[in-house]
Amino acid sequence: SVGWMRTHAAMIVRVCVAAFMAGLLVHLPGRSLIFSLCTCLIVGLFEKRQHAVLTRILEFKPFLFLGTISYSVYLTHLPIATYLMQHPLLPEQSALVTFVLTFAATCTLSTVLYLLVEKPTNAWGRKAAGFRFVARPAPRVGTVKSPLA
């Protein structure tokens, strides 16, 4: 019931975050499944409680920024993570350190690729197609703009 979820939602989110962090710190079999289930559970809890909370979180500028560069993140994260796992920068590099380095390198490279390749190519494609793109706000999303738009 909704009352039960309100009472226990904060505890469930804390357990999910702890499980996520434990998966980064300790190599657990099936940790990808743990990450996925925790993420789904947290999003599901916010979805059931109220849209306003999730909307405010997703309108946070760093999340908008990640949404803007998301295609470049998709293309670059796996090669960067693979490289950093095969060539650790530290002798006993933990999964958490690898995650932080991968995140930083992926965001940096993705921003550069977005600005130098994706954004100009998209503009050229729209111009070549002979139409002008008019941005329309997505349903239930505020007026916060991405920093790279």
> Is the predicted pLDDT of residue 76 greater than 90, yes or no?
yes
How far apart (Å, rounded) are the C-alpha atoms in residues 107 and 114? 10
Three-class secondary structure of residue 133 per DSSP: coil
Q: Is the pTM of this model over 0.85?
A: no
Q: List % helix, strand, coil for the chain (3-state, nearest 5).
A: 75, 0, 25
- Residue 89: DSSP 8-state: S
Cα 106 from chain centroid?
Answer: 11
Query: Could you report the per-residue pLDDT of 114-147, keeping only the tens digit for each?
Result: 999 999 998 888 888 876 655 655 555 445 555 5
Q: Amino acid identity, residue 142?
A: G
pLDDT at 112: 96
Mean pLDDT of the chain: 78
